[in-house]
A and B are shown apart, each in its own frame.
Chain A
Amino acid sequence: MKEDLDRITIVFNSNREGIPGTLNLCLDHIRQKTGGSPLHEDLMAKIKWVIMELLTNAVKHSGQRETVLKIVRTTEAIILEKEDYGKPLVLVGQDKKKIMWPLEEMVRPVDFPIYHNGMDSLCVRTDESGRAIFFIEELAELEMPALLSDTSEHFGLLIMTKASDEFAYEHEPETGLNRFISTFYFTNPLP
């Protein structure tokens, strides 16, 4: 059974100078809470990359002074959530079409390729509720022309999608809340 062992909420003031301090605060908290059974350094590195990109995303895109970062630890996973009331997500696909939230009824559910670098295709799938789940399709092509043709607002999403076990976006039209959710499952659930 999944059970919350602890959660912390951190308010980030969406300025770039605050990124290193907030990142270290988050990592120190995770290290402290997992002190009894420390996370593998590879997993800690992935968590660090995702927190970094969530904070960078807040500075670059939210347009809000405050972003809330939540770190939840359950028996099965570490979950990072970034919430703000800024501009909803807009993605530009490989065919230059835009997908933006809140989604029109007619476009869901939908699979939407947004970037590829010749080896990985970053895609988003929306479900009936409008939740966007990011995923990677590996391509057979071995050349890398796309990496050099698209310099890319998409690197951040690519990093978060590849580093996380699950990476998703939710938008609540009633309140305007945007939420990115990154989940890292433990190989062995905690007792």
Chain B
Amino acid sequence: MVLEVEEINRVVKATILPEEASLSNAEAFKEEMITLIGRGVRLVIVSFENVNYIDSSFLGSLVVALKYAMPRNVDIYLVALKPDVKNLLTLIRMDKVFKIFNDYEEAMGTLS
């Protein structure tokens, strides 16, 4: 299991458990995200609080999850990214397609 999931009113906080978000868990992450999105939630807040580094395989899974979510009107927010992880997302412009917040509370504060 890659994600620890907590759901309140169709909003899911999905915390990535491993410190390394990489080839070894990218496929499992993608499947768990698709399962979550498919069960009718409206928002998945993915917390990177445990993640020390991320690779291109995991980033690819993140984009697949977003592509699956968009036509289903499900949002994906990213929170609690450590500087290295955030800088890598920014390097390949993924900060332009994901909403990124400092922490879970800040992300929740944007909901009406």
Contact = CB atoms under 8 A, between A and B. Distances in A.
Contact of B64 (A56, A151, A156, A159): A151
Interface string B48-70: 00000101110110011011001
Interface string A142-174: 001001100111011011001100000000000
Contacts of A60: 23, 57
Question: Which applies to chain B's interface (DSSP): helix, strand, loop or mixed?
Answer: helix
Contacts of A119: 93, 96
B60 A56 contact: no
A148 B56 contact: no
B22 A147 contact: no
Contacts of A153: 60
Given A148-B63, A148-B66, A117 B57 contact: no
B91 A162 contact: yes
B53 A52 contact: yes
Interface size class of A (residues with CB under 8 A): 20 to 34
Contacts of A117: 92-93
A49 B52 CA distance: 12
Given A144-B97, A147-B63, A151-B63, A52 B22 contact: yes
B1 to A, nearest CB: 18
CB-based closest 5 A-B pairs = A155-B56, A156-B56, A144-B96, A151-B63, A16-B23
9 contacts: A19-B20, A48-B84, A52-B53, A53-B56, A120-B93, A144-B97, A152-B56, A155-B56, A162-B92
